[in-house]
A and B are shown apart, each in its own frame.
Chain A
Amino acid sequence: MTIDLSQWHPIASSSDLPLRHVYQAQLHGREFAVWRADDQYVNVWENRCLHRGVRLSVGLNDGKELKCLYHGWRYSNRSAGCTYIPAHPADAPARTICNRTYPGVEEKGLVWSAVDPAGDFELPEVLKGCDPLVLRPIPLNAAPGLALSRLADLKLEGGTSRQIASTGSYSHLAFDGLDLPELVLFVQPVDAHRCVLRGVLKAVPADPAGTLRQFNTALNRLRTLIEAAAAEAPAPEPIAVDFRPIDEELASMPEISRSGPKAELRVTVARKWETSEGVAAFRLEPLSGALPTFQPGAHIDVHLPNGMARQYSITNGPGEGGHYTIAVKREPDSRGGSECLHNAVQTGDVLAISAPRNNFPLRRDAVKVTLVAGGIGITPMLAMARALDAQGIAFELHYFAQSKAHLSFPELLNELGDSVVTHLGLNPAETSAKLNEILADYGFARHLYICGPGPMLEATRDVAAKQGWPDEAVHFEYFKNTQEIDDSSTFEVALARSAMTLQVPAGKTILEVLQENGIEAPSSCEQGACGTCLATVIEGEPDHQDVYLTPTEKAAGDKIITCVSRSKSNRLVLDI
Chain B
Amino acid sequence: MKLYDYELSGNCYKIRLMLSILRVGYETQTIDFYPGAEHKSDWFLEINPLGQLPVIEDEGRVLRDAQAILTYLAVKHDNSSQWYPASEPARLGEVAQWLAFADGITGTASAARLHDGLFYDLDVEAARKGAHRLFRILDEHLWFAEQQGQDWICSGDHPTIADIACFPYVALSEEGGISRQDYPAIRRWMDRVKRIRGFVGMSGVFPASPAADGSAQTAA
Contacts and interface: CB of A to CB of B under 8 A. Distances in A.
Determine if chain A interacts with chain B: yes
Contact of B210 (A58, A139, A392): A392
A139 B182 CA distance: 6
A209 B209 contact: no
Interface in B123-153: 140, 143-144, 146-148
A117 interface: no
A16 B148 CA distance: 15
Contacts of B148: 209
A24 B209 contact: no
Contacts of A216: 140, 144
A101 to B, nearest CB: 20
Interface stretch (A59-67, A154-162, A340-348): A59-67
A58 B140 CA distance: 22
B43 to A, nearest CB: 39
Given A38-B212, A62-B210, A136-B143, A20 B182 contact: no
Contact of B206 (A58, A139, A213): A58
Interface string A130-142: 0000001101000
Contacts of B184: 12, 16, 23-24, 137
Contacts of A25: 181
Given A136-B143, A213-B144, A23 B187 contact: yes
A17 to B, nearest CB: 9
Interface residues of B, number: 20
Interface residues of A, number: 30
Nearest to B212: A19
A60 B208 contact: yes
B211 interface: yes
A212 to B, nearest CB: 7
Given A38-B212, A392-B210, A20 B144 contact: no
B191 A21 contact: yes
Interface in B199-220: 206, 208-212, 216
A379 interface: no
B139 to A, nearest CB: 9
Given A21-B187, A136-B140, 14 more contacts: A12-B184, A15-B146, A16-B188, A19-B212, A20-B208, A20-B211, A21-B188, A24-B187, A31-B181, A38-B212, A60-B208, A136-B143, A139-B182, A392-B210
Interface of A: 12, 15-16, 18-21, 23-26, 31, 38, 58, 60-63, 67, 69, 136-137, 139, 196, 209, 212-213, 216, 220, 392
Interface of B: 140, 143-144, 146-148, 180-182, 184, 187-188, 191, 206, 208-212, 216
